[in-house]
Every structure is written in C-alpha cells, then in structure tokens.
Structure 1
C-alpha cells in the first residue's frame, strides 16, 4: 500500500467506496488524514466501516471543514451533470481530485524521479499496460502494475528509486489528476467513447492529451487523426508509432515486423499468438519503445514478447482440439472491439450477441467474408440476424452453451487449415451474465470440457 500523506492532519471528503475508493480511503487514513466517506450502496458503506473508515452522509456534512473532495473515477465530474458532491465541493471552494492525483503527489514528495509509466487510449490500454509490465518484470526489475487495469494505484507499493510503476489510466482518472507527470506517457489511440461523460469528442481528446503533456517522454500512436494532431502539437521528447501510417519518424510495423527510425528490424511479433492482429502489433511497438526508453536491452525485449501470455478475455487462446483454435474475446463488448478480432483471423465460427450497443454490427460488414458461420446468442439475436441475412450464414442458439457446442462441431468438419471458434460478442453481457468476465469464464469452462 502507498500511504497518502499529503493530507496528513486534515479532513477530506470521499465519495465512492468501490474497489479503488475503499483503497483510497484506507491509504488516506494510513497517511494521517481524517476521512469522511459516503457511497450510495449500503454494502459498500458497511465494508468501509469494517475497515475503520468514518462513514457519514455528505449531504448533511459541514463542508467548510474539508480540505478536498476525493472522487471515485466512476462518478460524473462534468457530464451529463456534475454529481451533487461536486456541486457541494465547488460551493465550499475546495479542490476535487482522484486517487491517481494522490499517488502523483506522494511520488513528488518521496521519490520524484522514480520511474512512472502511464498508459491511456480508447482501445488496447490493458494489453499494452500488461505487456510493458511483463517486459520490465522479465528483465528483473521491480514492477508495480495497476490503475484502471485492476489493482487500485494506492494499493501498490509506494514510489521508490528503482521501482517501476506501470499504470493504466482511463479518461475519468486523468480528469481527476491535475499534476499528472509520468516519466513515460503513452497515448495509443482516440476514437469516440464516453461522450456521455465528457460532452464532446474535442473535450474527450483534450483530456487524453493531458497525460502526455506532462510526461518527460511521450509515446503516441499516430494511426488516427486526433492522436496524430496531438503528436503534431507536442513540443517535448516524442516517439511516434505507426501501423497504418508508415511515413513516421519513430517506430513502424509492417506485417508484424517492428522497425526503427532508420528502417532496421527490431522485433518480429507476427507469429506470437497473444499478439495477433494489427492492433496488437501497435501495442507491441509501443511497449518496445517504452522498454527501450527505460534501458531494457533488445534481447530482453525479444524474449519477453515471446513469453507474454496475453490477458484473459482479450483474444485469449483458450485451447485447441485438432486443427480448431478456440478464442475467448469476451471483452469485445462493442463492434469496434470485435473488428480487431475479425481482422486477426479467417475461417471464423463466430459466437456473438448479448445486450446490444448502439450501432449494432453494421460497421463489421467489410469483414463478413472472414466468417464461415455466425452463432447468435442473447437479446441482440433478432437485430444481428437482420444484419447478417444474405451475407453470412447464421444459427440462432440462444445461449452460450448451445452455441459453443454447435461451433465446435461445425469447426471440426471444416476443411480450413485452422478453423477458429471465436467468442467476440460485440455486445454487453448483462442480459445473461454478471459481467464480460463471467461470460468469458463460462466459455473457457465449456471449451475445456470439450477438449479435455
């Protein structure tokens, strides 16, 4: 744990007692602050009380006694309307920050030069964060990984010389971190997302840009126009990463070969199963640029790339039965994410469906020729069937267990060299599952039951 000592001896309000919020409250209290916390969930409030955190309804609190409001990243700061605690904090004239800001202040206080890698982007954050941490760890370094990827940042060990913090950041977290200043700041890409929370695409992109603006070194993917414009504006040290864009003064990737500024080959990731697809080639090139900047040798990088296991539910290779490859891409909760998986494979027996997102799967039409057969589950079945009609043969399966059995049987009859059974739903999971993790776990278990 990292005790947050910069509010020692003062009283702070905290709203949101989920995983990161509770960790923040514990960290503040360990650092000498008095915490007055609240959450709308009685269960969350009970867990906080069990940890010795002071819980009181902030609606009736005396805000003149608070030095700051610590806001959980899931709570609206600006859009669609500021949360009521935000209005109360502004009326009291106190600052509003999040857990990452507390970490940055602690780092500035106790180990300002400790290595801190921060990663953001609309897609690919978690894989890139995990890959960077894997490369550094494989090189024998002391690595702490967390943030939006899972472990709350203040639950990690504190900053120290020679300790590398590799942190995934969402736009919500960046928005609550005014002093963000990583050693290396990574911006992977920007596509429309979370506009309900940020108002406009311009505001969303500006928040992402803040991560690299304060970094000692910026690493930016330049395949999309908003990120390219940010790279063009950046005035500090910068490494550009191009996959679709090949005329780049930085690292480029063509057919899985990562090349440096002078065109020399640095690494070949084309045959690494956990890094399939052009989007993962970009992730790998970014990780290579970060590792090089942190003085990891090319030999150490190459070895770590090969041994990277990938992340659960993100094009996760679950297993094989004969020639058939089973892939769990349950994290693909929208068409944009599923596009990456369809691009990475051919001869696909595609399981899709669930609680539909706006736009459906229309944008995937150019990739339908990669699909041998589609197997529909969940609430989106009717809408997806209408999109697939006349383009892709499909079967209505209703549930995941039926779809998995039918895809496995059909793929086994395929004459393709490597038929792929792909769970990439392009939908939220909440119609039939607790979460995308639950959906992926059930698929994995079904597959393992089939292959033994």
Structure 2
C-alpha cells in the first residue's frame, strides 16, 4: 500500500466513497492526514463509516481548512453541470486530484507506464504487466483496472507501475509524472461527461500533457483524432513511437497480415505471428499488442523476450474471453464491449455469429455496425436498447428476437445455433451497451453469462 507522508497532519477532503475513494480515505488516514470524506449516496456513506472513515458534509464545510480535494473519477465534477463540492474547492483554490495523482507524488522516482484509449486499455495494461513480469521485472498493475492506485505495492525505484487511466481520471492528474504514455484510440464515448467530442479528445490528450520530461509517447495512429495528436506532439519535438494494426509504419511498430513488425530502429524486423494467438484475436487486439511491445521496448526488453511474453498472455476476463465450446459452438464473453466501436471489433473476429446485444444504450446506437451485419445469423436483444436495436436490424433485414434478459438470450442463442449446425458458430456476448439497466457492472454481466454457459454444460452432462 502507498503511504502519503507529505499530507501528514493536514486536512484532506475526499469526495466519493466507492472503490478508489475509500482506498484514498484509508491511505490518507494511515499517513496521518485528517480525513473529511463524503458521498452523495447514503448507502456508500454508511459503508465507509462502518470502516472507520470520518464523514464531513463537504457541501457545508469550511474550505479554508482542507489542503486538497481527492475526487472519485466516477462522479461528474464539471459536466453536465458543476458539482457544488468541486465548485467550493475551486473557489478556495484547493487542488482537485484523484488517487493516481497522489501515487505519482508519493513514488516520483519509480518508473511507470500509463495507458488510455476508448477501447483496449484494460487488455493493453494487463498485457504490459504480464510481459514485464515474465521478463523478471517487479510490477504493480492497477488504476482504472483492478486495484486502486493507492492499494498498489510501494515499489522501489527498480519496479514499474503499469496504470490504466480513464478520461475521467486524466482530468484529475495535474502532476507531471508519466514516463511512457500510451494512447490507443479515440472514438465517441462518455460525451455527456466531457461536453462533447472535443472535450473527450482533450481529456485523452492529457496523458501527454502530464508526462515527465523526457518521456515517450506511444500513439496508435489508426483513427483521425490520434493522428492529429501525434502530429501535434511531433511538432513540439516530443519523442513519439507510432503503432498501427492497419498498415506498416516506418520507424514504428506495426501489424501487417497478423505479423508484428518492429521498425523502431529502422530495421524492419518480423517479431511474432499474432494471428495464431487465441487470447488476442482480431485487429483491435493486434493494436493492443503493438502498443504493449513498444512500451516494453522502452523499458529495455529484447524483442524475443517481449514476443515470449505476448505469446504466453492468458487473456483478460470479459474481453474476448473464450468461455467454453459446446456441440461445436464457441461461447465468447466480450461483456466489456460497452459501445458500438468495441462490439465492431468483436463481430469482426467471427463469421457465423449468434449475437447477444443490448443494455443501456450509448449515443449513436448500432448503425455503424451495418457493414458487419452479414456475419450475424441471428441477434438476441436484451435490455432498454432492445427496441431501438431491433429497428436498426430490421431495416437491414437481420434476423433478431427481443428476449428481454441475458438468461433467455443465452439459451435461445444456443438452441438456434445447435439446430442450425453451422460450422464455426459463435454465441457472442458483445452488448454494444452499458450494463446498468440490468446489472451493476459489465463484470457482473460477464459473470452471469459464464454461469449461464456453465448451466448449459451441466445440462448436457446430465442428459448423457
């Protein structure tokens, strides 16, 4: 765990008592700070108080006393409207930070790599951590993924922090401390939280604005916003390694025809056939692998060491996770595909898809997926988005059913796939939606899918 001795004896306000906020409150108290913590949700306050966290209503406190405000990234603080607690802190000149910023202040000499992007950041974060650990490096992996920043191990200078960062977190990291900064892609998402696409792009770009000097920027240049940011950084004289899964990049890292190619030193070298790796299927995962390779090279690893790490990567739950095969049908859990862009990547990996989609709709719906509709044998629609998705699919003459919930969708998809007997059949959970209408999180949705598939396996065993 991370200690924060520079806040010993000071008042520190904490807004939001979810996973990261509670972690921050406990780290501050452990470090000798006087914690004033609050959450607008009464249940969250009660849980925190039961764990010994001192509660103070931050909307009615004396803001002359706190030294700073630690903000939980999941709580809107500027858009769609300013939060009164954030406004009060700003009015008194108090810095607003998240737990990642405190980590950077507490361990300034420990190397780190920060990863962001609309999609793929969790896979890339886990992959980098795996590559470095397999190479014998001491690593701690967390941030937006898994372990909160202040619950990570207090590494010495020979360790490496591997940090996934959301756009929300990047708005709350004023300290310059990232060593290697990775931007994977930018497509529309969370627009309501950032006041539109320009605000969202600006939030993602902050991963380079808070970079230590000198530092390395790794940018996947497969979309226009990322290409613009690459050009801006090059114009500022920054060190940039470009990566692409759509074509060869001179002086960068590319994937061409499934082969990972390193030209970062001007010697075009084929490193690894990514097409044979079941845990990294599809062009989007090849982009993740290229970015991870570039980061690992920045930490001094040799090409073949990195290739071995990529090849041994076990995959990440709820991201193109192969759950089981039953009666020749593959069940794939991509519950993390919470927007159309992520679902597009999943659909592009398979030719005969029984698609489970729906939930709490994101802006734009699924119209952008039309070029892939020919891969869908039948769509099984769930949640609030089901009627809207059905209208889009009907307009493109795609067979579909409104089944309501995930259990019904999984059973119906299996029954139809089994009856049709198509080779290469895949029951794919790639919802293109948030989960919050029926589940607490995409993880809970994915776990439910796993259990449903296991029920199908057990039912077959019982029939045998």
TM-score computed with the length of structure 2 as normaliser? 0.92
Specify whether residues 432 and 106 from structure 1 end up closer, same or farther in structure 2 by C-alpha distance, changes over 3 A only: closer
2:216 aligned with 1:194: no
After TM superposition, the structure 1 = structure 2 runs for residues 193-272 of structure 1, keeping only pairs within 5 Å, are 193-213=189-209, 214-215=211-212, 216-234=215-233, 235-261=237-263, 262-272=267-277
Q: 8 Å contact 2:12–2:70 — kept in the other structure?
A: yes
**Pick aligned residue for 2:342 from 337, 359, 370:** 337
Q: Which residue of 2 aligns with 1:409?
A: 415
Q: 8 Å contact 2:189–2:339 — kept in the other structure?
A: no
Cα shift readout 1:44-88 (whole Å, capped 9, x = no counterpart) = 223333333321112221111121122111223322222111111
Give secondary structure in 1 for the equivalent of 2:64.
helix
Give secondary structure in 2 for the equivalent of 1:53.
coil
Q: Which residue of 2 aligns with 1:419?
A: 425
Post-superposition offset of 1:366: 0.7
Q: Which residue of 1 aligns with 2:461?
A: none
Q: Which residue of 2 aligns with 1:400?
A: 406
RMSD (Å), alpha carbons: 1.8
Q: Which residue of 2 aligns with 1:155?
A: 151
Post-superposition offset of 1:430: 3.2
Specify whether residues 423 and 271 from structure 1 end up closer, same or farther in structure 2 by C-alpha distance, changes over 3 A only: same
**Pick aligned residue for 2:439 from 428, 433, 437:** 433
Aligned positions, number: 448
Post-superposition offset of 1:414: 4.3
Give secondary structure in 2 for the equivalent of 1:183.
strand
Give secondary structure in 1 for the equivalent of 2:417.
helix
Query: C-alpha distance in 2, partners of 1:49/1:400?
Result: 35
Query: C-alpha distance in 2, partners of 1:398/1:207?
Result: 36
Cα shift readout 1:75-129 (whole Å, capped 9, x = no counterpart) = 2332222211111112222222221111111122xxx1x2211111111111110
Q: Which residue of 1 aligns with 2:7?
A: 7
**Pick aligned residue for 1:169 from 148, 162, 165:** 165
Q: In terms of mean alpha carbon deviation, does 122-131 or 303-312 score higher?
A: 303-312
Q: 8 Å contact 1:181–1:211 — kept in the other structure?
A: no
Post-superposition offset of 1:245: 4.6
Specify whether residues 193 and 385 from structure 1 end up closer, same or farther in structure 2 by C-alpha distance, changes over 3 A only: closer
Query: C-alpha distance in 1, partners of 2:22/2:138?
Result: 25
Which structure 2 segments of 5+ residues have no match?
Answer: 459-464
Post-superposition offset of 1:35: 1.1
Specify whether residues 399 and 98 from structure 1 end up closer, same or farther in structure 2 by C-alpha distance, changes over 3 A only: closer
Give secondary structure in 2 for the equivalent of 1:67.
strand
Q: 8 Å contact 1:319–1:326 — kept in the other structure?
A: yes
Give secondary structure in 2 for the equivalent of 1:344.
coil
Specify whether residues 184 and 328 from structure 1 end up closer, same or farther in structure 2 by C-alpha distance, changes over 3 A only: same
Post-superposition offset of 1:365: 0.8
Query: C-alpha distance in 2, partners of 1:38/1:218?
Result: 36
Cα shift readout 1:410-450 (whole Å, capped 9, x = no counterpart) = 32344543211111122233333333222211211111222
Which structure 1 segments of 5+ residues have no match?
Answer: none
Give secondary structure in 2 for the equivalent of 1:3.
coil
Post-superposition offset of 1:248: 4.1
Q: In terms of mean alpha carbon deviation, does 143-152 or 54-63 score higher?
A: 54-63
Q: 8 Å contact 1:6–1:102 — kept in the other structure?
A: no
Specify whether residues 200 and 378 from structure 1 end up closer, same or farther in structure 2 by C-alpha distance, changes over 3 A only: closer
Query: C-alpha distance in 2, partners of 1:399/1:23?
Result: 34
Query: C-alpha distance in 1, partners of 2:93/2:382?
Result: 51
Cα shift readout 1:149-197 (whole Å, capped 9, x = no counterpart) = 1211001112412211100011111111111322211111112222222
Query: C-alpha distance in 2, partners of 1:446/1:49?
Result: 36
Give secondary structure in 2 for the equivalent of 1:55.
coil
Query: C-alpha distance in 1, partners of 2:270/2:197?
Result: 36
**Pick aligned residue for 2:290 from 271, 285, 288:** 285
After TM superposition, the structure 1 = structure 2 runs for residues 327-406 of structure 1, keeping only pairs within 5 Å, are 327-389=332-394, 391-406=397-412
Q: In terms of mean alpha carbon deviation, does 255-264 or 293-302 score higher?
A: 293-302
